[in-house]
Amino acid sequence: MSQRVSLAGRASLALMLMVGFYLLALGICAGLAWLVFADAQSHRIHPKLWIMAVVVIGTVIYSVWPRRVKFPDPGVPLRRQDQPRLWSMVDEVARAAGQEPPRQIFLVPDINAFVAERNSVLGLGGERIMGIGLPLLQVLTLPQAKSVIAHEFGHYHGGDTRLGPFIYKTREAIGRTIVNFRNLDSILHKPFEWYGKLYLRATFAISRAQEYAADALSVRLVGREPVLTALRRVNETGPLFDHYLEGEFLPMLNRNRRPPLAQGFRLYLGSKAVGKLQVEFGEQAMQAKGNPYDSHPALPDRLRAAAAVESPGAEAAAGPLALTLIDDLAKVEEQLLVFMTGKPEVRKVPATSWRDSGAAYGEQWQEVAAGSGRKLPAMRVADLVAHVGEIEQFAALTSPKVPKDSRRAAGAWLVTVLFGEALRRAGFVLETSPGDPLELVRGDVRLNPFEVVGNLIDGKITAADWPEFCAHHGVGDLLMAGPELPVLAPAAGRRDQAAG
């Protein structure tokens, strides 16, 4: 009974706010229409008033007129026959929640999960769908993932997916109205701005109440520990998948290599540097304060509310990763890459191992040395200390289009690559792994070229120290730059052209 009362209260408030917005819009239009009528009755026509009325009324009608929202597939469809274990868990949670399961489940490239009723009309008659992130399954255990799915069914259970279209469409209409009146440089955007703030505060409060209710259902269906630990884990890792894609995976794809997407993210999360980031993100989330315009409660508030839920489920948080629910992961990853890039030809990129990532960067270094490196004056590793002050000129010489304020960074990167390629030609092997720095390895020696050159540029390695460094590693006579550098081998060139 309390759930129905809660839903009725939310729906009533949202409906009243929506009606209030349209009454405001119609009231302004009616007021202007009355002024025009009164002007006509006075037989003293004021053209400016009539023009203003037509413009304002037209702007209001254009802004508030409902738009049909397209809802394409948000990810890769996961069919029942292809992913029986995932569907079995979803069906189990649906039965426990007393809800119909979604018609479709989509795999998405986010640390996120969601539900919606696609193509509904005013919240009615839509198709239930669910989205589950591949990286979400990578960071959560099975019980934690089950708690997230239960949370999403809490939105079905609370009627949130039916209420959502009313709220979102009214937000969009208010936003359009404000923007359009601002573009007209009209003061009439002020009442809509005032009402918009009121509407956002009220509806975001509704959204936060929906999150609390969904968390509570998840605790009762699954257990307190899976919910609490899943909330923490999602906040620790939330921004990291995009960082991984941009900094690790896509550079490999651009080098005509397609390593395993999920495995790479696991390696990325396991690196020391990213481990520190996770701790920092977790601490920041635990220090967050609530804001009236937040759609979700702050993490500490959610944790306190979930910990206070009575009659919790009995499941613990430990278990295998939820990614084990996905069958034929390589095929699913390939489909997800096609969805992410919009390019079916990505399937033709050769599948490789992450162990090959050092070789991929090595090819890039070879290209830079054979191109930009040959444009510079002859320079050996031992000479680098004498040319540190010229790195901006090096950047301008090899890449004239580089902006002045970016030349120092571009020059530092260039000499680092040339230094690293010189060592690589001398037998050092370039090694790296997602989240880890690039290292040059020979026997027991491991050098981070970016750290070495960075310390030289910053003066942490002095002019007196550099000859000793070169002698210790036997690298002083290695050619770094100049016309005598090797030309790029034809085979490597053809491979790189295919990658581009």
Instruction: Give the tens place of pLDDT for each residue, 47-80.
Output: 877 877 787 778 777 777 766 667 688 999 999 9
Does residue 286 fall inside a structural domain?
A: no
Of residues 248, 282, 280, the one with CA closest to residue 263: 248
Nearest-angstrom CA–CA distance, 422 and 372: 14
Is residue 452 in a domain?
Answer: yes
As a whole number of angstroms, the distance between CA 274 and CA 268 comes to 7
Over 50: is that where the pLDDT of 232 sits?
Answer: yes
Q: Which residues face 379 on adjacent strands? A: 481
Angle in degrees, 0-180, between the axes of helices 47-64 and 160-183, rounded to the nearest 10: 150
Task: Tell me the chain's radius of gyration from C-alpha atoms.
Answer: 30
**What gap in Å lies between CA 220 and CA 157, rounded to an integer?**
13
What DSSP letter does each residue of 366-410 carry, written as one string? Answer: HHHHHHTGGGSPPEEGGGGGGGGGGHHHHHHHH-TTS-GGGHHHH
**CB neighbours (10 Å) of residue 364?**
17
For the chain, how many residues are written?
A: 500
pLDDT surpasses 60 at 498: no
The three-class DSSP label of residue 280 is helix
Alpha-carbon distance of 109 to 245, in angstroms, equals 10
Is the pLDDT at 496 greater than 70? The verdict is no
Question: Which residues make beta-bridge pairs with 76?
Answer: 107
* Interval 279-320: pLDDT, tens: 999 999 999 998 888 888 999 999 999 999 999 999 999 999
As a whole number, mean pLDDT of residues 230-255 equals 94
- Is the model's pLDDT at 250 over the cut of 60? yes
Q: Classify residue 404: in a domain, yes or no.
A: yes
Within a domain: 179 = no
Q: Is residue 64 part of a domain?
A: no
Name the DSSP class of 245: I
Provide the phi-psi class of 320: left if phi over 0, else alpha when psi is between -120 and 50, else beta: beta
313 Cβ neighbours under 8 A, 6+ residues apart: 219, 220, 221, 222, 223, 224
| Local structure of 112: helix, strand or coil | coil
Distance separating alpha carbons of residues 350 and 111, to the nearest angstrom: 26
pLDDT of 263 reads 95
**CA triplet 403, 405, 410: central angle to 5 degrees?**
75
Q: To the nearest whole percent, how much of the chain has pLDDT over 70? A: 89
> How much of the chain, in percent, has pLDDT values that exceed 90?
63
Residues 220-246, mean pLDDT to the nearest whole number: 96
**What average pLDDT does the segment 90-95 reach?**
96
Q: Take residue 341 and report the two structure tokens written for it.
A: 């890039």
- In tens, the pLDDT along 466-490 reads 999 999 999 999 999 999 998 876 5
Structure token pair of residue 488: 């790029």
Q: What is the pLDDT of residue 293?
A: 80
Q: Write out the residue range of the structural domain in which residue 483 sits.
A: 354-499
3-class SS letters over 319-336: CCEHHHHCCCHHHHHHHH
Distance CA 158, CA 169 (A): 19
Amino acid type, 112 = N
Question: Alpha-carbon distance 368 to 382, whole Å?
Answer: 20
In 3D space, the residue among 92, 61, 26 whose CA is nearest the CA of residue 325 turns out to be 92
Angle at 256 between CA 251 and CA 258, to 5 degrees: 75
pLDDT (tens digit, 9 = 90+) per residue, 329-382?
A: 999 999 999 999 999 999 999 999 998 888 889 999 999 999 999 999 999 999
Q: What is the mean pLDDT of the chain?
A: 87
Number of folded domains in the chain?
1
Pairwise pLDDT comparison (197 vs 326), residue with the higher score = 326
How many Cβ atoms are within 10 Å of 47's Cβ, its own excluded? Answer: 8
Distance, CA of 259 to CA of 274 (rounded, Å): 19
Please report, as a single letter, which amino acid is at residue 64.
V
pLDDT of residue 191: 79
Long-range pairs for 465-474 at CB < 8 Å and ≥24 separation? Answer: 466/382, 466/384, 466/385, 467/382, 467/385, 470/381, 470/382, 473/445, 473/447
DSSP 124-135: BSPEEEEEEEHH
